[in-house]
Amino acid sequence: MTGMQAATAGQESGPIARRPIGRTGLSVTELGFGGASLGNLYRAMSDADAQATLQAALDAGIRHVDTAPHYGRGLSERRVGDALRQVDGVVLSTKVGRLLAPDDSVVDDRMRDGFRSAMPFAARYDYSHDGILRSHADSLQRLGLARVDLLYVHDIGGYAHGDASEAYWRQLTTGGGFRALERLRDEGAIAGFGVGVNEVAACLAAMRATQLDVILLAGRYTLLEQAPLDDLMPACAAAGTSIVIGGPYNSGILATGTRGGGPLHFDYGEAPRGVVHRVAAIEAVCARHGVPLAAAALAFVLAHPQVASVIPGIDGAARAAETLALYRHAIPPALWGDLREAGLIRDDAPVPETRS
């Protein structure tokens, strides 16, 4: 296959391309590292494996790492900090909105909030002015780093909080949470901030309240879902806000496909029948073109001009190398036409251009 016939998500070789984040002056590698796995998302990982995983991602050329206090109640931040302390040139994001307090009842690695972490802490939501400043300071302590580049307000909105969302929204707005983030940005303590959420409504509300540099949107703009084309993507283009795509595999099914016989994960749970059928149809088109489903999932989101980076879950050193290969996989342009023709992606969704 020649370069005229096939396009990849990124370059087929050389360093991973970088894209700017809003007006921050930062640029990130368009393939990034989602750090939930290092907090023992779904299963425990040893410290040695965690270090090897992040090192393999760095060896692959990834220079964009995302973590959060929530990921294993501090465990992901500790491991990320240990791995990055001597490394230059990595754009690091963490999150605000949960404060961790000591909890000595946590004595085993039972599943808690999806993570198998025995870190003896409990999380409490706090989106207030002082809560945000404290969260930032606590993260630096856990990371053992003097600085993070980007802060995301984590899980604000109805998807995470249901009936309590109004009260948390008030903390962020009238309670000064956004003011604290603006202050950190104005003082140069961080380069920029945004929200890190699984829903579009929270992004739009936050954009009306303050100037966001970047939005980490998980699971809502993928090969399976493109509703943000209607509202969020144009709003971000107008405001100069970049998008980082989290959960590009919708928790797994867009990587595993439907044919492997293993569990089919969608949005943190078992995939509903309708999703399985749709993925099977996408998978069949990909197979006809000799393209792994996961490679198409990465390439598709990176084709949107508002998207700065995609951060799939990478839960092992081998998977870091595998993810780089998926990112570099050649994709015949006809694949996108076939997906459109079958009604499997929206007609107005940007798709990768052919590179000559």
Ligand X SMILES: NC(=O)c1ccc[n+]([C@@H]2O[C@H](COP(=O)([O-])OP(=O)(O)OC[C@H]3O[C@@H](n4cnc5c(N)ncnc54)[C@H](OP(=O)(O)O)[C@@H]3O)[C@@H](O)[C@H]2O)c1
- Dihedral through CA 69, CA 73, CA 78, CA 84, nearest 10? -40
Closest CA to 20 of 91, 93, 110, 101: 91
Tokens found for residue 209: 């309240």
Binding mask 2-41 for ligand X (x = CB under 6 A): --------------------------------xxx-----
The residue within the footprint of ligand X, chosen from 9, 22, 64, 66 (CB under 6 A), is 66
d(CA 291, CA 128): 46
DSSP alpha helix (H) spans, 224-333: 232-239, 253-256, 273-288, 293-302, 317-328
The residue within the footprint of ligand X, chosen from 45, 255, 279, 324 (CB under 6 A), is 255
What is the smallest separation between the CB atom of 349 and ligand X, expressed in angstroms? 18
Q: Does 309 bind ligand X (CB under 6 A)?
A: no
Tokens found for residue 192: 């920029």
The three-class DSSP label of residue 347 is coil
Q: Does 194 bind ligand X (CB under 6 A)?
A: no
Question: Which residues in 133-152 contact ligand X (CB under 6 A)?
Answer: 152
What is the smallest separation between the CB atom of 265 and ligand X, expressed in angstroms? 6
Q: Does 251 bind ligand X (CB under 6 A)?
A: yes
d(CA 260, CA 238): 42
Q: Does 247 bind ligand X (CB under 6 A)?
A: yes
Closer to ligand X at the Cβ: 254 or 339?
254
Closer to ligand X at the Cβ: 4 or 318?
318
What is the sign of the dihedral through the CA atoms of 184, 189, 191 and 197? negative
d(CA 110, CA 102): 17
CB 77 within 8 A of CB 70: no
The residue within the footprint of ligand X, chosen from 22, 74, 97, 313 (CB under 6 A), is 313
Question: Which residues in 315-344 contact ligand X (CB under 6 A)?
Answer: 315, 319, 322
Closer to ligand X at the Cβ: 3 or 125?
125
The residue within the footprint of ligand X, chosen from 311, 330, 331, 351 (CB under 6 A), is 311
Closer to ligand X at the Cβ: 225 or 322?
322
Residue numbers annotated as active site: 66, 71, 95
Alpha carbon of residue 156 to chain centroid = 15
For residues 109-134, b (16+ Cβ closer than 10 Å) or e, as one string?
eeebeebbbbbebebebbbbbebbbe
**Total residues interacting with ligand X, rule: CB under 6 A:** 28
Closer to ligand X at the Cβ: 133 or 153?
153
Q: Does 248 bind ligand X (CB under 6 A)?
A: yes
Closer to ligand X at the Cβ: 39 or 131?
39
d(CA 298, CA 29): 13
Q: Does 228 bind ligand X (CB under 6 A)?
A: no
User: Site residues (CB under 6 A) for ligand X?
Assistant: 34-36, 66, 152, 154-155, 196-198, 216, 218, 246-252, 255-256, 294, 311-313, 315, 319, 322
